[in-house]
Each structure stands twice: as structure tokens, then as C-alpha cells.
Structure 1
């Protein structure tokens, strides 16, 4: 670290690595950069990355998981916030009239697969209630009493763990994770069908647009937080976002969402040669609240919704206690699969149920297995869930791709303006890159620490500048 910090090109190296924003494991690229004259197509200058510090170009990894790369996850969180908020108040290509559309915030959970340790807080007194107090309780078939009178703390290790490990239906648990995305899809179909009476009543076509984030509960099952907005369909322009009739309120939409949630359910395909199926339905603990842009009893504000969804968009399996890893190999499954722990059994069942039977050898059988239970094996490291953590309907808002493109354009424009101020105006040059992968990660831990410290100082400087601008707007000077 001292050798790097004391080198003559330390400042140049910091400027070169600033684009990573402190990424934990940046992508290193090597190759050539060509300056091309856009009027003639001729290459006017060629540079190799060997001329740059470390001989490579550093690019952020872009991982959304805070447990893998906190700086890149923070960028993803900020983009998700802008994406969700634009669907509520407008901006980023979305008309500002969406602020008047009925919208609800829904939390949909999985059913119970067996009693687990919980922490319940009295909303009026703030006192923690006993976990599972029971009277006149009989032992379960395995000789254990399903009772817990403890008042657990927020960091208690037993939270989400079954009271009886043998009574808990781990197989149904991982299968539900595997079909949770399909359950959401069918719920949206049922919700749009439920809009038909309103369509006939008001003489217009309605649709529901949504932004959704998946989150793991401590017991290891996913549940969904979703923002649902009601729109009117323009027959001449299906991509247009029009306001629904004035007579429809957010509470009307909340009732429709609750009805679609209760009515949606299906059975999984028969498993292999046993023919066993599992029911896939939502749990009874759902929370559906209207979204407002001000203070209203029982409602939640648009900014709170956007911040809440963006926060959980960067999470993975950490709440369940499973370390973040890549796909689990057979050796890793053997290491993590423990019949004496809750997570160990979930991993074991995901791999066991997802393993194709030996007698399924035809192409049709392999394809059928790949599209159904085979997904559980591929997503064993996610306890069976293989869906995206942050998704949205097509017409809800902007996209992450567009936000990243706008950010790249802004940075490119800033660099171009800087070049023009120092080297004159030149609009006829285009930079074309021919790059290949050189590696992933920093060359040394010292480089990683120095880059992270520089990025932290840059974030602190931007935060102070933002605070000063906000303060100056709220308290303008007397001369202004």
C-alpha cells in the first residue's frame, strides 16, 4: 500500500480507477482503443491499454447483491428506487399524471409449512410477545411440544427455525420457492380478469402495471413486495399510460388484489414416477395498503414504497442464514446439506427433488424434467427459487438498461466537455474499443483498499454537496 501510495503516478492511478466507484471485484479488460474520424472512417490514433496504469481498464462488476459488492449494490439500489418512484410520481419517461392513478402496496407471503420461532411486537405498546405460548398442548408425533414462551431478540439465531425439525415440510417449502414466480404470474392474470366488471361499467379497458421485489424470510422462503398501479389502455397507442376513470379508488384496487390473491392457486405437475403433487397458494398473512402522496391513515407514501422496495432489491439469501455462493457443486451440497439443521435439510431436498431419475433418458423426458423439477437442482444455492429479485411489467416505468445508458451518456458528455475546455472543440472523433477479459478483481489487496477509500471520500463529498444544495434551497440568502 505504501509503495502504491508513494508512487509518482498515484494520482493518475486513482483517476484511472475512479470509474469503478470502489467495486470489490472489478473486471479487468485489455486491448486497443482506436480514435476514428467519423467523417472519413479513418483511424487517426491507436492506443493500447499497456499505456494505462496497471495495463488494463477497470470496469465495475455491477453485482446487485450487497453481500457480494456493496458499492455496485448501492448503485443498483439507487436505480431501483428511481425506477419504482418514476412509476408512482412520473419522470424518467413516465408522465407525471401517474401520480393520480390508484396504487396499492402489497406484501404476499407463502403458506405455513410448519410452526417456526417468531418475534411478534405489540404495535401499541412496543413490547415483544412470547414466541408461541400454548395451553393444553399435546406432543407432536416426534415427542416434542410445539411451545415456546421465549421473547426473542431481533438477532436470535432460532428465528425462522422450526419448533420440530421432523414435522416441518421441507419438500413443500423448496417446491413452493420453485413455483413462486408462476404463482405470481397467475395472480396477475386473475387480477386483470377481475377488472372486467369495471371495464364494462366505465366503458374503457383497464390494466394493472406493477414493480415487484422478492425477499427471503428467515425461514428460507421467498415473499413478494409489489407496487401495483391501475392504468387505462389507449386503443390507438397500447404503450400510452392514461389515467383510469375518477370513480375508481385505491381501496377498490386493494379489494381486487386481495380477491385475486385468495382465488389463485394450482397443483404442481406430478413428480417423476410417484405422481405426487404439491399445492401452490399464497399464505393467509397478506398486507395490502393504498399508496398516497401525502399523509393518510392506513396508507403508505410513494417515497416510502420506493425506498422499501429498493432496499430489498439488493438482498439474497442472507436473512435465511445461508452464505452467498455460486451454484452448488456436489461437494458443496454434501458440505452444506445437514439433516440436523433447517437450512441443511432445505438444501438437501432441493438437490434431491431436482435430480433427474436415472430411468428418464429420452429427450422428451429430459426436456420435461428441465422445465419443471430440474430447476430445483440448478437453484439449490437459492433454496429452489430461480426467479429475478426485481421485476416489473413492461409499461410500469423505465428500465435498468435505460438508466445505465443515461448514466454512461452523462459521463461521456462530461468527459467530452472537459476535453473541449482543455483541447478545443472536436465533434468528429469516435473511440472504438477492442477489448478482451484480462481477469476479475484487483491485483492486490492494497489496491482494493486504496480504491475503496478513494470511492468513500468521493461519496462523502457528493453527499455534503447535495446537503448544501438542499439547505441553500430551503434557506435562500436575503439577497436572493
Structure 2
């Protein structure tokens, strides 16, 4: 029998009537079925298992749309196969476990995106200075930071600052140059002016939109997006071949060098991607190409050699297969704006250099950005939802989606329909070669080990045995995505926000004591 701990007489230190009685089960049931989110939250918070629920959802509490899984989780002794414990999700709050969605897109899930960004930063930084299993000797290897842009598909509104005087580019309030200042004020064949004298603010919705939508080459842009990954592959092959020829010219065995690369794709406001990359020169074992050990490169190579290789590969191009709209195919190549900076371990002030910390922060930032920069935020499109996002006479993003849907009808071009919600780009926004650094999976496994050691494993209060001697076997199936109610989402996110504030306050206090 449960006995209430609330008193039923007036408190001695206060005037008035007795405290309110605890709500009964009928009241809680009515509150839970209410359409008012605050009443739903009150019903959840008044339940006896609320503290257990808060602890249970802690791992996914800040996620916008967590994954719900149902099944059993077993811990087995690896050597003997003895079952140590079994947890059934039916015995847990809500009958499921909550797992963060892991979406990297900041516009869809800020919490998972922030974790992805931190992991991307660690991966990029480790590949430049070492750590997390990468030898610190990589900091002495030549490395460059090239940026590959897309060609022009038509004049668009832009914001250009000739000389920055701000201290933070993120909050830049410098005076920009006129968008497209032209003396003769020309007009396109459709009668629209091709001049714009506005000094656009950074939040201006016109940025990235074409001066004349009817002149803009939408088919060419979406085709370029869908084949950008293939262009990048051919470019990396051209860079490797250039370095191999350079090695042979210097009397060095080409098999004794290896290029380690990483890249992040940035979606520009005009709806086309460009790539920020890292290229690091390593040594390799010429007798065993399967050896992934990171070795110093042979003497005589410099970062300028990598710059020359990038400049040579920037001319890579190819022609697509014929399409009924363009029987000759489209030319796929890079734009004219190719910029390559040398990654300096210690800043020297030389123009064209960038530090490893700046590169890591830059790539991590763009690893979580996507089509929201072009005004498109949507999941995968279907014939039932395409009319909500595609319009041949609509906004810039709507015209790009419509072009993807129209061009993707032939079987060999179906990828355009599959990736219409990404404006045609179907590649990963952050990729790297195996030898560059550790992987996202490595960092996730480290977190799992830490959490199980900290909490004693899923659903258990006792300490977990030595990690190397146990196996966790999950028999889980997907049952849904998202919180059960808006109230649950509000309570979980509030709990996560309070935990973050507590952590930040503790870090600030430790920093104060250390100072």
C-alpha cells in the first residue's frame, strides 16, 4: 500500500489551509489525455516512475526525434558463454529504450548534430596533430587545405566584403560591395535587369537566388550535384598520379608514398556543393601495400608539391551520358575559384597558410550543414509529397527540386529523384581515407564503453565486469521514431538543458579555481 507523505493539517510555519492532496489515478489519466501540453507534462511528472523515466531517457533526452527500440539485452561472459544478466525493455519505462537519432543535420536535430560536429573536429584534428591512435609524427607531414568550387550556372545575388574589419566572421557586420554593379544596366533575353546595386545583408533571402530564374541552368546544376562525388574521385586519382610521377622523377619508389585525405561538402546558398579538403602526404611500406601504418614521407617532398598536384588536378573534367533533354551530355568540371592553402603547424604570418585548429573547426562546422542554406529542409521526397516542395515557377529551391524530379525519370538517372530533397547531391558530407585518422565508429565505441563503465551497463546498477571479458548481445527491433507525446519531448529536453547548464557551471568553476 502506498501512503502519501503530504500532511493534511496546516503547516506550523505558514498560514492557510493544508497542502493540496496528491492527484488520484483518474485525475492523472484525464491530464494525460488532455490536448494541453502542459497538462500532459504535469501528468507525466506526477507519476511515481517519473524519476526512473528521466534516468531512462537520459541518453536521448536532447534528441529531437529519438529511435524507439523494443526487445531484450543480454550480457554474456565471453570465455564461458555464461549468461550474466538479461534486461527486457517491457520492464523499462514506456516499454522501450530510446536511442538518439544520430542525424548530422543541424536543422533537423541540434543535439545529435552538435555531437557529430564534435566528433568530426576530433577526427580532423587527430589527422593533423596526432592522438586517438594516430602518431603525433603526422604533425610534421606536408599537408594542404584546398577548396574546390562548382562552376557558374547563372548570375545570382551575392554578398562580397572587400576588406573585413570585424573580429568574428560569424557575426560579420562589415559593409559589403554592391551585388552586381554595372554601368550600362544590361537586361537578359527575358527583359530582366542583370544589374543589382543592393548591398545585401547576410540574412537577406535574395542571396543565392538568380537574377533571372528563366536564364538559370537548373538542369546543369542538379546534374553537377549528383555527379560531384564522381568528379571528386577522378580528381583524387589525378592528384595521386601526379605525385607518383613526381616521385619517379626524383628517383623515389611511388609505392613508398601515400596520400591521406578528408573532405567536407558545403552546400552554398545557390544550392550547389563545393568541397573543402585536407590532403596529407605520408610514407608507406613499398613491400606491403596493405600495411596501414602511418610512416613519415620520404625526404625531399614539401607542401608546395601538394599545391602543384592540386592545381594540376583542378582541370579534371568529364562528360555525362546522353539525356533526352541534352543528347550531348553535360560537362562536369570544377569552377575557376580553386584555392589551396598550406596547413602550418605554427603560424608564420605568410599569406596562404592556415592552422590545423582552424581547418578542423572549419570542416566540422560544414559537416553538419546541408540544404537549409539554400532554403530546403525536408526528408526524402515521395510522389505524395513532391508537390509540396517542387514548383517550376516557384522559389530557387523549388525549381531545383522540380528539375531533379523531371530529369530523374529515365532509369539511369533515378538517383536525381532519390536525392531530390538534397537538390541532387547524394554523397556524404564528411568523408576520409582509412589512413587519415580514426573513424566515427571508433569514437562511438569509446562512448559506449565509458557509459557502461559509468552506469554499470544497460538496465543494471551493479558494476560491469572487465570489458574485454563480456559481450552485450541485443535483440532489438525498431518500433517507432520520436517521443510519445510533445510533453515527453518537453520534459526530456528540459532535463537535458538543466544537465548542460550544470556541466557548464561546473566547468566554469573549475576554470576559475585553476586560474
* 1:288 equivalent among 336, 340, 348: 340
Alignment of 1:192 onto 2:243: no
CA offset at residue 449 of structure 1? 1.1
Secondary structure in 1 matching 2:360: helix
Alignment of 1:308 onto 2:362: yes
Compare 400-409 and 21-30 and name the one that shifted more. 21-30
- Count how many residue pairs are aligned between Structure 1 and Structure 2: 457
Paired with 1:245 and 1:285, the residues of 2 have a C-alpha distance of: 31
Which position in structure 1 is the counterpart of 2:4?
Answer: none
TM-score (norm 2): 0.83
Q: Return closer, same or farther for 1:182/1:45 CA change in 2, 3 Å cut-off.
A: closer
CA offset at residue 138 of structure 1? 3.5
Q: Return closer, same or farther for 1:424/1:355 CA change in 2, 3 Å cut-off.
A: closer
Paired with 1:185 and 1:213, the residues of 2 have a C-alpha distance of: 14
- After superposition, residues 119-198 of structure 1 pair within 5 angstroms as 119-123=159-163, 126-198=174-246
* 8 A contact 1:139–1:145 mirrored in 2: yes
TM-score (norm 1): 0.89
* 8 A contact 1:102–1:250 mirrored in 2: yes
Alignment of 1:445 onto 2:486: yes
Q: Which has the higher contact order (CA 8 A, sep 6+)?
A: 1
Larger C-alpha radius of gyration, 1 or 2? 2
Secondary structure in 2 matching 1:266: strand
CA offset at residue 202 of structure 1? 5.3
* 1:270 equivalent among 311, 322, 327: 322
Q: Which runs of 5+ in 2 are unaligned?
A: 1-40, 166-173
* 8 A contact 1:204–1:232 mirrored in 2: no
Paired with 1:209 and 1:170, the residues of 2 have a C-alpha distance of: 34
Which position in structure 2 is the counterpart of 1:359?
Answer: none
Which position in structure 2 is the counterpart of 1:463?
Answer: 504
Paired with 1:347 and 1:419, the residues of 2 have a C-alpha distance of: 46
* 8 A contact 2:452–2:458 mirrored in 1: no
Q: Which runs of 5+ in 1 are unaligned?
A: 357-365, 476-480
* 8 A contact 2:456–2:464 mirrored in 1: no
The C-alpha deviation readout for 1:53-106, integer Å capped at 9, x for no partner, is 122211111111111111111111111111111110011211110001111111
Paired with 1:24 and 1:65, the residues of 2 have a C-alpha distance of: 11
Alignment of 1:207 onto 2:258: yes
Q: Return closer, same or farther for 1:273/1:114 CA change in 2, 3 Å cut-off.
A: closer
Q: Return closer, same or farther for 1:176/1:34 CA change in 2, 3 Å cut-off.
A: closer
* 8 A contact 2:75–2:83 mirrored in 1: yes
* 8 A contact 2:143–2:281 mirrored in 1: yes
The C-alpha deviation readout for 1:383-416, integer Å capped at 9, x for no partner, is 1111111111121111111111111112122233
* 8 A contact 1:80–1:310 mirrored in 2: yes
Which position in structure 1 is the counterpart of 2:432?
Answer: 392
